[in-house]
Structure 1
Amino acid sequence: MEILNRHNWQPFCTFIIGLPGEKDEDTKASLDLLYQLRGSKALFVPTWFVPLENTRMQNKESGKLIEMTDLQWEFFFTCWRYNIDYIGGSIGRSRWQWSVGVPLYYNFMGRKLFGRGVKYPLARFAGVPERLLRKKLYLDLSDYHSSMTLNPINREIIPEFESVKGLNMVDAAA
């Protein structure tokens, strides 16, 4: 991801949650990956599993919001927290709106629709300080600070290939 970002590539990363047979360990592994990607210049979009016709998964049941686990909610809202930090991280007014709007949503609608499992992931989404959430959620993002700049690279980036057959490679160092 670092190499992509340094060359002004900002990926759109989609994740599928709610796959048939998905276990908490699978979601934790996805959360660990998401933790490693913190601070990246990318959009992270969680989607629910939907079986497509004419595939081997066509007869499987699709993911349902009402059946999401606490860890899946954490994954979902952590993705969107990263996106808000990346897209509108410096806009003070929008941060204020999220900080007020999300707790109102949880108290008046979210808790009734999805249960108490969305409380702490929604709090992360709203920007509640991580020190208050670290014992309630799987990921501890206390060391995460959104930044619109990348840290200086401290090593040489060397491509893993010399040339690709059929392509004329351009030497960017020249």
Structure 2
Amino acid sequence: MGCSRTCSRPTGAEAEAVPIEVLFCGWREQPGLLRAGEADVAIVVEPFDTEGLDVEPLTREPQVLALPTGHPLAERQGLRLADVEAGRQRVAPGAHVYVRRGEPPPPFGDIVQMLRQIELGRMIALLPVSVAERTARPQLTWCRVDDAPEAAFAVAWPQNSRSRAVATFVRVATTVSASRAPGTA
């Protein structure tokens, strides 16, 4: 996930365009960067800390379980959340990232580090199906969990923002999301 900061305005044929600078950061860092004024807008995955932020929902998608290849759960049919949570604890409230009960979570700051920790067998996680579709690795197995919650994506920005560029970004993001929703042409 990333955040963006608007930059100087172009001239000429692209006078209406506003360039952006993408800040690469961990998913837990985004709300703080927005509140601190280090980013203007972010695409986030719920749950996240909304204090001081305005949020507009974008889309939802199924989640699948990321496991290290050879994990015992990978062989099970009809997996449920109770199976995933048996003997495990969540690393944070609302997150669907699990470690063995009593163990501290391994360090990770972004999705690449998270997937590496899963490959190493240090944790398992429910992740959006789009991550699974873009992350084919022989060390990972992706499994359906029948009662897994959907991943909810949103656009977030500071409540005190008066930026026309941010407003335009939010409007375009919601329009594009709506046009890609199931049942739209």
| TM-score normalised to structure 1 length | 0.22
Larger gyration radius, structure 1 or structure 2: 1
Structure having the higher strand fraction is 2
Which one has more relative contact order, counting CA pairs under 8 Å at least 6 apart? 2
| TM-score normalised to structure 2 length | 0.21
Structure having the higher helix fraction is 1
